[in-house]
Amino acid sequence: MKKDSFKLIIMSVAVICIVIAGIMVPGIVLEANQKSEHDHVAKVPKSYLPSGSVMAKEASANLKLSEKLSLIDGQWDSTTDDAASYEMDEQDYQAVATCRKSIEKLYDEKLYPVNLSPDYSNWYTWEAAAKKASDNTFNTYTAYYWIIRFEKYDGTQNHTIWMLEDGTIIMAKAHMKDISDMSEYKEVLQADDESQAENDLSAYKGYFDYSGIDFSKLNLISETTAVEQKNNESYEVLQFLQENEYVYAIHEK
């Protein structure tokens, strides 16, 4: 009799557990799926993109670094305009994360005075604008890039970064409110740089107009050559400095 009662209790508990699981599990699964969908930012399928955008993206993917630079700096006949979010490979916050990593690499190579990584207890507000430079000859080739601005929480620094979609920094400008911050970096450059350049910018006239920076007020302090690994293509790396401003720029050879 006691055994029968014990079995009945076990069966009752089992039935209750099954009923509770049947009620709760679907809700838990649904909530997990909704959270996953909410956290995931999906790219717009190509079938939904305007045909011109699809062609431009596919053509742009095959452009070399020098060709993208030529579109952006106007050495090729081109028009610069705002790019729609669906045209870019990343959302703005993703591009900012990529930019931080690229700047950190430049910082480690002593090519930029500040590390913008939040790991260094630096708090910056940011804003990002998607841009594109399209050729006027075939209306097919387009170079997509970002202009990302950072400002330190206390207003002592602001940075403007021009970055290709693959994370390549083509130009970066640092402005320090405190001149002493830039003076320290200048000492690092003078102690470490083996190639001091003459301050003759005539060879680069017009190449950096897209930035809006007045280079006549800057001193060209370094001019070196680097190699882009994907296409084994060489390009020039330029460094400019003047009191509380520093500019890093690359230029097609």
Residue-wise pLDDT tens digits, 146-187: 999 999 988 999 999 999 999 999 999 999 887 666 666 666
Q: Indicate the burial class of 137 (C-beta count within 10 angstroms; 0-12, 13-18, 19 or more).
A: exposed
Q: Please give the Cα distance from 146 to 131 (Å, whole number).
A: 6
Q: What is the pLDDT of residue 89?
A: 92
Tokens matching residue 221:
């302090």
What is the bridge-based pairing of β-strands 233-242 and 142-152?
A: unpaired
Write down the domain spans for the chain. 47-252
User: Which residues in 95-121 are b (16+ Cβ under 10 Å) and which e?
Assistant: bbebbbebbbebbeeebbbbbbeeeee
pLDDT band at 189 (very low <50, low <70, confident <90, very high): low
Whether the Cβ atoms of residue 172 and residue 106 lie closer than 8 Å to each other:
yes
Q: Check pLDDT > 50 for residue 35.
A: no
SS3 230: coil
